[in-house]
Amino acid sequence: MSDLGAVRAATAAGADSNASRPVSKRSAVPGPSAFVGLAIGAVFAVPAVYVAAQVVTLNTPFAKTLEEIQGPLWRTLQLAALVSATAALIGTLLAWVTVRTDLPFRKAWRVALVLPLVLPSFVGAGAFIAGVTPGGIIHETLLALGFTPPRRFRGLGASWLVLSAFTYPYVMLPVSARLTSLRTSVEESARMLGCSARQAFVRVVLPEIRPAILAGALLVFLYTLSEFGAVQLLGYDTLTRVIFATRQADRAVSFAAAAALLVLATLVVIAERRFRGRAVPDQRPAGAQRPAELGWRKLPATLACAAVLTAGLIIPVTSLLLWAVRGIRDGAIAFGDLVEPTVNTAGVALVTAVITVIVILPIATETTRRPGPIPAVAAAAVLGGFAIPGLVIALALAVIALNASGVGWLYQSLVLLILGYVVHFGSQALASAEQAVRAVPVRVREQARLLEPVAIRRATQIDVPLMRPGLVAGGGLVMLATLKELPVTLLLAPIGFSTLATEIWGGFTEGFYAETGVASLLLIAVSASLTWLLVLRPTIRS
């Protein structure tokens, strides 16, 4: 016990300079654990297999389908590329400014700048549109200032802006984490050897944070592929519109469009794995970091942070507040009705987060310690679950629960609902689970094996504590995604089971904006406090 403690302490002190020696020779031969990962991956592949099976059985006419989805496919690609590139840029810059500089109030910025992640996209977009079009606070302010803003806010540009403003935290979070754990001394050495600040960033820092940028940008890309609610409101016609518009009348086309999304997702996942490379990260502890001095750039940097936060949070929240206040003033809101949905929302999100992390860990272990084709396939299956719309995942799971023998009891049960969430959001835990696995260096594992023969005790004494920050982070992202999930919840939840997202949707589609406003603000409050209580505070204290 005390020996193990010493191993851990030694790791923490950075004595283990050989921390991330490349994987051992065993990696060539897939062990039995590879197949555990593959089996888990198979569960994630269920919706994809269902889509493929439907495309085959419905005998989709290839030429006709291609003609129908051509335009939307091209538009989807454009949007996904623009949004992920923009999110990568904004996310990286914000991470650098809030972690590595002497920006005033940078800790407060780091918390606030994550919040755009918590609104369901349809209500976020709806509230955003209400804010920037005539009658909205932004529109009126610009008018008062003498500008004439456009009456309409729609199309590619609008979708690009809104989705980028809502998704950059997917990049900012991993890059912030990487920058925090990356020592500044190498950068400083580079400066002393004559590099300019920009050269030092490009040559020294960028290679280290590149995997984090790519992992985040990939999530943004997949998110944009499967996005429906926001782009529909913003009048931008993508593949998901085809999937939805034809889901009753022309199912063959609907499934073909979903299959196209999956192919696209697979290509992007492969590309990302290629680009990420096999570079061994610098895992030495960060030590004291010396923030870069912004000097006169403090003002523009602060303004940039404020601008991003305005787009991602302040504009939509202002509209939501306006709707909510109007309803509260009229006495139209029954707060008591929101208690049960709030409890349900928090409950399923927590359970989903814990289960997702447990399920993803074996795959992350394989991809990190014994990379090869089998773990790669399992990881691709997990990532694919984020690229198809929740509606398709929900239908696939419903059809299987209804028809496969022995699993009928799953239908309309919480188990199936949570399974749906896990399949849809497993990808969000994957990258941070991989980081978590890397946090247990090879030498530490070898030393532990010598000192503690019982595997289970090694796991609880060494692995879990060292992995914990990464696992909690992954679980946190899954929790945030589940809190706001809508289509899977609507179709798979047990009868009478409502969440805040279903309440928000119910109000929004029928024009009960007051209810929408109150429920949305409640969702933001619940998301923020759960993130603080369960993810941020325990780590800070320890």
Partner 1 sequence: MLDIFWMDGPTLVGMSTHRRLLSLAFCITIALAASACSGDDGDSITLYSGRGAGLIQPIIDRFEDESGINVNVKYGNTADLALLISEESAAGRIEADVYLSQSPGAMGFLDDDLAQLPPATLDLVAPTTRDDDGRWVGISGRQRVLVYNSDAVDPADLPDSVFDLVDERWRGQVGVAGGNGSFQDFVTAMRFTEGEDVTAKWLNDLESIDPVAYPNNNSIVAAVGRGEVEVGLVNHYYNYRALAEDPGVASVNHLFVAGDPGGTLIVTAAAIIDGTDKADFANEFITFLLSPEGQQYFAEETFEYPLVPGTPTAGNVPEIEFDDVGSLDLDELEGGLARTRELIADAGLES
Identify residues 349-378 at the interface with partner 1 (CB under 8 A).
Answer: 350-351, 354
Binding window for partner 1 (CB under 8 A); candidates: 32-40, 46-54, 310-318, 534-542? 534-542
Q: Does residue 177 interact with partner 1 by CB under 8 A?
A: yes
Shorter beta-carbon distance to partner 1: residue 256 or 444: 444
Among 6, 9, 39, 202, interactor with partner 1 by CB under 8 A:
9
Binders of partner 1 in range 268-327 (CB under 8 A): 281, 283, 285-286, 323, 326-327
What is the CA 144 to chain-centroid distance, rounded? 38
Binders of partner 1 in range 37-66 (CB under 8 A): none
Binders of partner 1 in range 209-248 (CB under 8 A): 212, 232-233, 235, 237, 241, 244-245, 247-248
Output the six-digit token pair for 444: 């530490």
Q: Does residue 149 interact with partner 1 by CB under 8 A?
A: no
Residue 363 Cβ vs partner 1, minimum distance, rounded to whole Å? 17
Closest CA to 515 of 333, 329, 325, 316: 333
Output the six-digit token pair for 276: 């990420």
Binding window for partner 1 (CB under 8 A); candidates: 34-42, 58-66, 133-141, 371-379? 133-141
Q: Report the alpha-carbon distance of residue 254 to residue 65 in Å, rounded.
A: 9
Residue 505 Cβ vs partner 1, minimum distance, rounded to whole Å? 8
CA dihedral for 227, 228, 231, 234, sign (positive or negative): negative
Residue 269 Cβ vs partner 1, minimum distance, rounded to whole Å? 19
Among 398, 451, 459, 521, interactor with partner 1 by CB under 8 A:
398
**243-246-252 Cα angle (round to 5):** 85
Q: Report the alpha-carbon distance of residue 216 to residue 227 in Å, rounded.
A: 16
What does the longest C-alpha to C-alpha distance in the chain come to? 75
Size of the site for partner 1 (CB under 8 A): 110
What is the CA 361 to chain-centroid distance, rounded? 17
Q: Report the alpha-carbon distance of residue 289 to residue 440 in Å, rounded.
A: 23
The interface mask with partner 1, positions 75-104, x = CB under 8 A, is ------------------------x-----
Contact predicate 55/395, CB 8 Å: no
**482-107-430 Cα angle (round to 5):** 35
Output the six-digit token pair for 350: 């927590």
Q: Report the alpha-carbon distance of residue 523 to residue 503 in Å, rounded.
A: 10
Q: Does residue 459 interact with partner 1 by CB under 8 A?
A: no
Among 321, 413, 445, 521, interactor with partner 1 by CB under 8 A:
413
Contact predicate 178/209, CB 8 Å: yes
Shorter beta-carbon distance to partner 1: residue 38 or 218: 218
Q: Does residue 31 interact with partner 1 by CB under 8 A?
A: no
Q: What is the DSSP string of 213-277?
A: HHHHHHHHHHHHHH--HHHHHTT---HHHHHHHTTTT-HHHHHHHHHHHHHHHHHHHHHHHHHH-
Among 34, 38, 80, 114, interactor with partner 1 by CB under 8 A:
114
Shorter beta-carbon distance to partner 1: residue 20 or 310: 20
Residue 498 Cβ vs partner 1, minimum distance, rounded to whole Å? 8
SS3 292: strand
Residue 266 Cβ vs partner 1, minimum distance, rounded to whole Å? 24
Binding window for partner 1 (CB under 8 A); candidates: 37-45, 169-177, 184-192, 376-384? 169-177
Shorter beta-carbon distance to partner 1: residue 90 or 114: 114
Residue 48 Cβ vs partner 1, minimum distance, rounded to whole Å? 18
Closest CA to 89 of 220, 200, 198, 241: 220
The interface mask with partner 1, positions 184-203, x = CB under 8 A, is --------------------
Binders of partner 1 in range 476-495 (CB under 8 A): 476-477, 487, 490-491, 493-495
Among 391, 397, 410, 530, interactor with partner 1 by CB under 8 A:
391
Residue 29 Cβ vs partner 1, minimum distance, rounded to whole Å? 28
- Quickly list H helices, 287-440: 298-309, 315-329, 339-369, 373-384, 390-403, 414-438
Q: Report the alpha-carbon distance of residue 83 to residue 223 in Å, rounded.
A: 10
Contact predicate 155/235, CB 8 Å: yes
Q: Does residue 339 interact with partner 1 by CB under 8 A?
A: no
Phi, psi of 70, rounded to the nearest 5 degrees = -55, -55
Binding window for partner 1 (CB under 8 A); candidates: 256-264, 311-319, 381-389, 431-439? 431-439
Among 298, 412, 458, 459, interactor with partner 1 by CB under 8 A:
412
Q: Report the alpha-carbon distance of residue 91 to residue 52 in Å, rounded.
A: 35
Among 295, 406, 453, 496, interactor with partner 1 by CB under 8 A:
496
Q: Does residue 512 interact with partner 1 by CB under 8 A?
A: yes
Among 395, 488, 500, 526, interactor with partner 1 by CB under 8 A:
395
